[in-house]
Every structure is written in structure tokens, then in C-alpha cells.
């Protein structure tokens, strides 16, 4: 139901309540709800994910868990200085933040224990092992440099 009282302000008021003031059903709203199934060109809302769309923008077959582990492990590698910066420059290691990211992965492993598929569990174990070894190596390098 559109109420236009002749104002020239450029605003349009749309009453979307399903019932009118007297309690009767507002059929215009019911018809509009059926038509809203298709997104409008002026609709700025984020489109809803349909079941046929992939769950992750990174890989079609990846689970949200695998994406999370990948994100955290990439962050840890960046913090350990194992990945170059956006322009290819060397980024110095940030050991305290790398440790925090490893701790997050440890928490994730602890909290999901017994609830992961075999592949997810193996992925997390392998990532943690590799990152721990890299972390220890970076600590050794920094210790040698500081002496």
C-alpha cells in the first residue's frame, strides 16, 4: 500500500504491515511478498546463498573448516616471515603474533576433537606440525641473530 499525499520530497512511504488498522488482511502486502522472491535491481542487500552455490570462494569442494584452517595457517606463515608481502618484499617475522595464531589453531584442534572427518583431522594435524616446526626454526634464527 503506497501512501502519496502529494508531497514532492522524493520519498515514498510503503506500508508493509500484513494487517490494516481495522484488522483486515492487507492483500497488497501479500502480493508484494510473492513478487519479492526475485531480487530487484535496486535491492542493495547481499544475495542469499543458494544450495547449488559453492560453500567457499576458494575451492568448490572445501568445507568451511578447511577454509578456516587454510586462512589461519596462511596468516601464521605470513607472521613467521615465510610468505613474501603483497609486492614481493620480505616481511620480518612477528613471533608473538605467530604464536597467537598457532595457539588459535591449537584451540581449534582441542575444541573440535572427535567432531571432524578423518581428512579434516589430518589436515589440522599436518598444518600444526609444519607450523610448529617453522615456529621453532624461526625462534632459533632470531636467537642466533640477537647474540
In a domain? residue 51 = no
- The pLDDT of residue 113: 94
| Number of domains making up the chain | 2
In a domain? residue 40 = no
In a domain? residue 46 = no
In a domain? residue 16 = yes
In a domain? residue 49 = no
Q: Does residue 121 sit in the same domain as residue 71?
A: yes
**Structural domain span for residue 26:** 2-35
pTM: 0.56
Q: Does residue 72 sit in the same domain as residue 19?
A: no
Sequential pLDDT tens for the chain (147 residues)? 555 555 566 667 666 777 666 767 777 655 555 555 544 444 444 444 444 444 444 455 567 999 999 999 999 999 999 998 888 888 888 999 999 999 999 999 999 999 999 999 999 999 999 999 999 999 888 888 877
Query: Which 3-state string (H, E, C) describes 27-41?
Result: HHHHHHHHHCCCCCC
Distances (CA, A) of 28 to 15, 78, 126: 9, 56, 58
Strand, coil or helix: 74: helix
In a domain? residue 131 = yes
- The pLDDT of residue 104: 96
- The pLDDT of residue 108: 96
In a domain? residue 17 = yes
- The pLDDT of residue 137: 92
In a domain? residue 26 = yes
**Other C-beta atoms lying within 10 Å of the C-beta of residue 105:** 20
Amino acid at each position: 500500500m503506497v501512501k502519496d499525499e502529494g508531497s514532492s520530497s522524493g520519498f515514498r512511504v510503503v506500508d508493509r504491515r500484513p494487517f490494516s488498522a481495522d484488522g483486515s488482511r492487507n492483500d497488497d502486502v501479500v502480493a508484494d511478498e510473492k513478487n519479492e522472491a526475485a531480487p530487484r535491481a535496486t535491492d542493495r542487500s547481499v544475495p542469499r546463498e543458494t544450495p547449488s552455490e559453492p560453500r567457499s570462494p576458494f575451492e568448490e569442494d572445501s568445507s568451511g573448516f578447511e577454509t578456516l584452517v587454510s586462512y589461519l595457517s596462511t596468516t601464521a606463515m605470513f607472521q613467521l616471515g615465510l610468505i613474501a608481502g603483497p609486492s614481493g618484499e620480505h616481511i620480518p617475522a612477528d613471533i608473538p603474533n605467530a604464536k597467537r595464531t598457532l595457539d588459535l589453531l591449537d584451540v581449534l584442534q582441542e575444541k573440535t576433537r572427535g567432531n571432524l572427518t578423518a581428512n579434516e583431522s589430518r589436515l589440522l594435524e599436518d598444518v600444526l606440525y609444519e607450523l610448529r616446526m617453522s615456529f621453532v626454526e624461526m625462534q632459533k634464527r632470531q636467537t642466533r641473530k640477537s647474540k
